[in-house]
Chain A
C-alpha cells in the first residue's frame, strides 16, 4: 500500500498568512494526487486534482505543486473561511490512501 505522510499535523496562522502543507508518498504516484478541504459536519470538498489543477469554483489563492513522491498545497493569503482540516489522497492505485490531515486553525 502507498503511504501518504502529511505535515504539519496542525498550524495556527493568521489571516493573510501564506500557508504550505506538504504530502509525501512512500513511492511514486505521478500526479495522481488530490487535495481536499474538510469542515466539521460537511463532506470533503476537492480543491485540486490532479496535483496542480485547481478545481472549478475554488479560489485562486489555493495552488498545488509536485509530482512523483513530493507534493504541496499552498494557500497564498489565508482567509477566515479557510479554517478546516486539509487532506491529500493518492488515486494512483488501490487502496486509495489518505494523508493524516492538517488542521488549520485561524
Chain B
C-alpha cells in the first residue's frame, strides 16, 4: 500500500526542539521530492519546507527559515522535520506529503507554556 506514516509531535514549551518523522512505503522513495505542510488552528494550509529526491537541495517558508531543517534517509525511506526554537505560532497540524499525490495522516504540534 502506498502511504506516508507520521510520528512525533506533541506538546512542547516555547524555545524547545522537536523532530517529526514520516515513513514511506509502496513507492520509490528516493525518486521524489517531499514536503512538509501545516495547518494552523482555524487557518488554511501553509507549505513549510521541501527537500529534493537526493536530499541535496532544501527549501523553507520564510516563517520557519533558520529554525527548521528538513532531511531524509533514502536507505530507510524516512523523511524528517527538525524544528528548533519553537514558538506558539508554530502550533499546527503538520503533514508530510508527496505533493499533489500522497499525504501523511497529520500530527499535532502544540507549543505552549
Contacts and interface: CB of A to CB of B under 8 A. Distances in A.
Interface of A: 34, 36, 38, 43-46, 49-50, 85, 87, 89, 91, 94-101
What class of interface size applies to chain B in its complex with A?
A: 20 to 34
A36 to B, nearest CB: 8
B105 A43 contact: yes
Given A94-B59, A95-B59, A95-B61, A44 B47 contact: no
Contacts of A34: 99-100
B106 A96 contact: no
Given A49-B101, A95-B47, 9 more contacts: A36-B45, A43-B95, A44-B45, A46-B100, A87-B45, A91-B99, A95-B59, A98-B44, A99-B44
B21 interface: no
Contacts of A38: 39, 45
A84 to B, nearest CB: 13
B68 interface: no
Interface in B63-113: 95, 97, 99-101, 103-106
A106 B38 CA distance: 26
SS class, residues of chain A in contact with chain B: loop
Contacts of A36: 45
Interface in B33-64: 35, 37, 39, 44-47, 50, 59, 61-62
A87 B104 CA distance: 17
Nearest to A43: B103
A100 B101 CA distance: 20
Nearest to B106: A43
B103 A100 contact: no
